[in-house]
Amino acid sequence: MVKIGVIPGDGVGPEVTAQGLAVLELVGGLDGFRYELEEFDLGGERYMATGEVLTDATLARLRSCRAILLGAVGHPGVPPGVLEKGILLKLRFDFQQYINLRPVHLYPGVQTPIRDKGPDDIDMLVVRENNEDLYVGVGGFTRKGTPEEVALQTSVNTRAGVERCVRYAFEQARKRAGAGPFRGLSKADRDAGMTRQVTLVAKTNVLTFAHDLWMRTFEEVGREYPDIKRDYQHVDACCMRMVVSPERFDVIVTTNMFGDIITDLGAVLQGGMGLAASGNLNPEGTAPSMFEPVHGSAPDIAGKGIANPLASVLSVAMMLDHLDVPAAAARIRRAVAQVLAEPGPRTPDLGGKATTAEVGRAVVEALRA
Amino acid sequence: MVKIGVIPGDGVGPEVTAQGLAVLELVGGLDGFRYELEEFDLGGERYMATGEVLTDATLARLRSCRAILLGAVGHPGVPPGVLEKGILLKLRFDFQQYINLRPVHLYPGVQTPIRDKGPDDIDMLVVRENNEDLYVGVGGFTRKGTPEEVALQTSVNTRAGVERCVRYAFEQARKRAGAGPFRGLSKADRDAGMTRQVTLVAKTNVLTFAHDLWMRTFEEVGREYPDIKRDYQHVDACCMRMVVSPERFDVIVTTNMFGDIITDLGAVLQGGMGLAASGNLNPEGTAPSMFEPVHGSAPDIAGKGIANPLASVLSVAMMLDHLDVPAAAARIRRAVAQVLAEPGPRTPDLGGKATTAEVGRAVVEALRA
Ligand SMILES: CC(C)[C@H](C(=O)O)[C@@H](O)C(=O)O
Ligand SMILES: CC(C)[C@H](C(=O)O)[C@@H](O)C(=O)O
């Protein structure tokens, strides 16, 4: 019996999570995957009501789960950083979820806002470091509130932290070799025996300390993978190329901050936030991994029942992959692909008029069929 | 007599700068603007040949110029950071060019890679802070080269540095009011007397020191401009929205690092790097300002004579604005707009087959007509 923690959270979080759980229930039955759910009441609503962000007792209960499904955390009434640092980053850090895995995949039937690009062009996997960099919260003020104020914020990068992330990216690239060689390789690359590519995205020409470590680690670890092409892009050029020639990217490995930025751009390429799933992974399983749609609580549409549930559904698929039930995960992805490929219900973000529940139901029906 | 320093630099730098200078020569004559040029041999080529990056003597000569026109600096044979820190950032910092001004404007006749968006939707001005943040070079290693290595890189933000930048952005927004009110304002905003908008792009929910200073300064300075709407976007959401709804942006003010990233994305929106101009401004004129195309040395196409000269030409226009010859600047922009609106020569980045010189000539002819 696998225990799964559920944090529906704020805004559209509970709405989309309900659909993710409906899908989980069905595939659980189909694939004979036995699990129990424990729900956790965390987020901005709760903080506003009780002043509590995340207690040690709750943290301990969360730790006893094998995986966590998160809806969204965020509330317009709470000062910036309180919930992010108190819940989201706290869980990512405490549970050593050092990989933030964000696939960018354009499903047939979904329109990308980029002219002349289609599903064959947009299929990359972003491996975002999730425990270091500017996210560590190291910094401070001096002379705060005066004209002489100085505010510092430090990016912390360790060899061990960078190496495990880079290695994970090369391993993922190898796994993708099963899906055939990466089309973006040149003939010379293929003749040299390369099958896939990992692009390091950083800013080595300016962040000459932090990204020197990244580059050295990338080169050293990468040499152990002669079948994987090593590619490098400055983060600014990467944003440009993701839009102009997304077909050049296969696996991308990057820092926490740059990963945050380029995966939102990736979400756009694949048809919007409504379809972007992510996993905060502790690959060794020493603590639970956490799965969440990339979209936030979206207060502007919360309560209307029109948020796209597919990012949550696809996050459930990522969770099942992590829990070693790849057949169930694949089943969900096929069902989502089928719903998107055929005329049928679409939430407003995809140009439709359907509700969250209607789209969820369509996936459940596709699964049943 | 205005002295203008010219740094043609590396790769396509000299090729595009030649066209920028041809245009300058013609409008100089037309508008009775008298200037002299001093050329500076700086860049990767020179470094490879002499080992010299930028001497104090050269720096002093550059300082005696009123403005500098830069082509590009960068060379595949030079380790990352040497030229960037030694020349580009050195000049930006030493000459207190604390504003990096980057207009994002889609000219009619140019196709943006974003579906369903046109010139009416893409017209923003990015005010990038240019002297602080992660660009200061503060950081270091400990236990370098060992498995215990830690690499730090610190973002330094001062109240004075942030304030002058934010204030500059609000002033620019006011200047844009002359071009009519910003279309992205709501009726309520307009009823409240607002005409334009400044969006702060930062990451207040994670960079709780650095961007707390930015947010406080933005709010305080912004209150002095009741006619300008204050808007805020997290950098990740900004990248998404720039692609999905660029028409929501008017003036953007942001940090050095985030500005680097979003202006490359902005260049894409406006039809590519071949059209993106920029100014590194010392607004008080205590040292020269520097104008450069956003594209770099582009070693892949260097020497072929096919680089788009329009980014350099438009950088010359920005330089003339700064030198208080707005009529000459406007003349250049009209000529560029005319060349782009009509069928005529286009470099390969815009889908054509013309050379750098042919496009430069077309602008010169449009100016003469
Ligand atoms: C909410 C915020 C702290 C978070 C991040 O920056 O990582 C979010 O943007 C994300 O990408 O998951
Ligand atoms: C070359 C590099 C240092 C520079 C920067 O990062 O500022 C460039 O990307 C730019 O945007 O002008």
pLDDT band at B30 (very low <50, low <70, confident <90, very high): confident
Please report how many Cα atoms fall inside a 13 Å half-sphere around the Cα of residue B352, on the Cβ side: 20
d(CA A135, CA A156): 8
State the pLDDT at residue B32. 87
pLDDT tens readout for residues B108-133: 999 999 999 999 999 999 999 999 99
State the pLDDT at residue B138. 98
Q: Hey, how many other C-beta atoms are within 10 angstroms of the C-beta on B315?
A: 25
Contact B81 A267 (CB under 8 A): no
What is the atom index within ligand 2 of the atom nearest the CA of A206?
3
The closest residue, in CA terms, to atom 5 on ligand 2 is: B260
State the pLDDT at residue B323. 97
Q: What is the CATH number of domain A1-105+273-369?
A: 3.40.718.10
Whether A231 lines ligand 1, by a CB cut-off of 6 Å, is: no
State the pLDDT at residue A31. 84
pLDDT tens readout for residues B157-189: 999 999 999 999 999 999 999 999 999 999 999
Picking from B292, B229, B273, B232, the residue whose alpha carbon sits closest to that of residue B104 is B273
Angstrom CA distances, B268 to A3, A238, B275, stand at: 46, 11, 9
What is the atom index within ligand 1 of the atom nearest the CA of A85?
3
Q: In what order do the strands lie in the sheet with B67-72?
A: B35-39, B2-9, B67-72, B289-293, B277-281, B99-105, B123-129, B251-254, B196-202, B228-234
Q: What is the mean pLDDT of each successive set of 10 residues along chain A, which is 369 residues long? A: 97 98 94 94 95 96 98 94 95 98 97 95 98 98 98 98 98 95 96 97 97 98 98 98 97 98 97 96 98 95 97 98 96 98 96 97 96
Mean pLDDT of chain B: 97
Q: What is the mean pLDDT of residues B23-45?
A: 94
Query: Number of A:B CB contacts under 8 A?
Result: 200
Whether B42 lines ligand 2, by a CB cut-off of 6 Å, is: no
pLDDT tens readout for residues B244-282: 999 999 999 999 999 999 999 999 999 999 999 999 999
d(CA B4, CA A221): 48
Identify which ligand lies nearest to the alpha carbon of A78. Answer: 1
Which residue of B140, B205, B240 is in closest CB contact with A80?
A: B205
State the pLDDT at residue B309. 98
Contact A207 B114 (CB under 8 A): no
State the pLDDT at residue A42. 97
The closest residue, in CA terms, to atom 3 on ligand 1 is: A84
Per CATH, B1-101+273-369 and B111-269 having the same topology is answered yes
State the pLDDT at residue A142. 98
Picking from A118, A121, A364, A104, the residue whose alpha carbon sits closest to that of residue A245 is A121
Which residue of A113, A156, A157 is in closest CB contact with B243?
A: A113
Spans of all domains in chain A: 1-105+273-369, 111-269
Q: What is the mean pLDDT of residues B28-38?
A: 92
pLDDT band at B31 (very low <50, low <70, confident <90, very high): confident
Q: What is the CATH number of domain A111-269?
A: 3.40.718.10
Contact B140 A209 (CB under 8 A): yes
Chain A residues 94-113 with a CB less than 8 Å from chain B:
111-113
Closest A-chain CA to B214: A151
Picking from B110, B108, B340, B119, the residue whose alpha carbon sits closest to that of residue B246 is B119
pLDDT band at B342 (very low <50, low <70, confident <90, very high): very high
pLDDT at residue B86 is higher than 90:
yes
Which residue of A149, A215, A262 is in closest CB contact with B213?
A: A149
The closest residue, in CA terms, to atom 6 on ligand 2 is: B260
Whether A88 lines ligand 1, by a CB cut-off of 6 Å, is: yes
Chain B residues 242-301 with a CB less than 8 Å from chain A:
243-244, 257-258, 260-265, 267-268, 272-273
DSSP character at residue B86: I
- Can you spell out the DSSP letters for A78-90? SPTTHHIIIIIHH
Q: Please tell me the class of the B1-101+273-369 domain.
A: alpha beta
Phi-psi region of A139 (alpha: psi -120 to 50; beta: other; left: phi over 0): left
Tell me the CA–centroid distance for residue B312 and ligand 1, in Å. Answer: 37
